[in-house]
Chain A
């Protein structure tokens, strides 16, 4: 890493920390609105086709692609999903400049609820889409359990970050 990059990172770090301290000191930190990243909202918005007792494994893999990982000889599928911008990838510079004030985060969450993408994270993506992963608005774990006829028996969607 070059000296200029280190300086950028340090400045960005101090800027975020300074903003945070100002808000806390003033006692007026706006709150984060979780309604657009809540599991129930995300399920209804992007995963409505997933229904226990109805959806087949083929339908799931046709829509979401290969899972992040299989368990119990393919009877359990796990998808790690991130909520990101649909039309473009965040660049390193944008990520560093974006900051994370609650009002910025809330605005982005609302925009993503209308034009966002639930992207499946797989092992080989971790380097290719590094900044997209770092800048995700939310991350989820979708677990799907299929019966012997490959029909969905039960499932869960959990927000695991950030």
Chain B
């Protein structure tokens, strides 16, 4: 750290990927259990819990979690600042009029993407 202070600059520290914000990540087994044309809304709620976003009169559910991939520390002789490298994930589910799953998608936001993920999924 002393060397960093003297030199100044930016350090990226990769970490083991882990969830920092939102629910724990939904594993592949759970995601695979949600089947188009078969699974109903009650089953989705029982196996995934309360969605993070609901819209179109309960026709669309979104589950959100954020994976942390690392940390950035920027150092100058007079200041130190830290930030976290994050990667938001969304699992989107649409139901038909009988409350059966009609469409699903796992959407991952790129680490360096500047798009607002919430705006994008509202247009899904």
Tell whether, in the assembled complex, residue B49 and residue A14 are in contact, meaning their CB atoms are under 8 Å apart.
no
By secondary structure, the A interface counts as strand
A71 and B58 alpha carbons, distance in the complex (Å): 8
How many positions in chain A have a CB within 8 Å of any CB in the partner chain?
27
Residues of chain B within 8 A of A155, CB atoms compared: 46
How many positions in chain B have a CB within 8 Å of any CB in the partner chain?
22
Residues of chain A within 8 A of B49, CB atoms compared: 78, 140-141, 143, 156, 158, 160
Given contacts A17-B82, A158-B49, contact A72 B42 (CB under 8 A): yes
Residue in chain A with minimal CB distance to B46: A156
A32 and B47 alpha carbons, distance in the complex (Å): 25
Residues of chain A within 8 A of B58, CB atoms compared: 71-72
Which of A18, A79, A160 has the most chain B CB within a 10 Å cutoff? A160
Q: Tell me, yes or no, whether A113 is within 8 Å of chain B by CB.
A: no
Given contacts A10-B81, A78-B50, contact A72 B23 (CB under 8 A): no
Tell whether, in the assembled complex, residue B42 and residue A145 are in contact, meaning their CB atoms are under 8 Å apart.
yes
A-side residues, CB < 8 A to B, are 10, 13-14, 17-18, 21, 68-69, 71-72, 76, 78-80, 139-141, 143, 145, 154-156, 158-162
B-side residues, CB < 8 A to A, are 1, 13, 19, 22-24, 41-42, 45-50, 54, 58, 71, 73, 80-82, 99
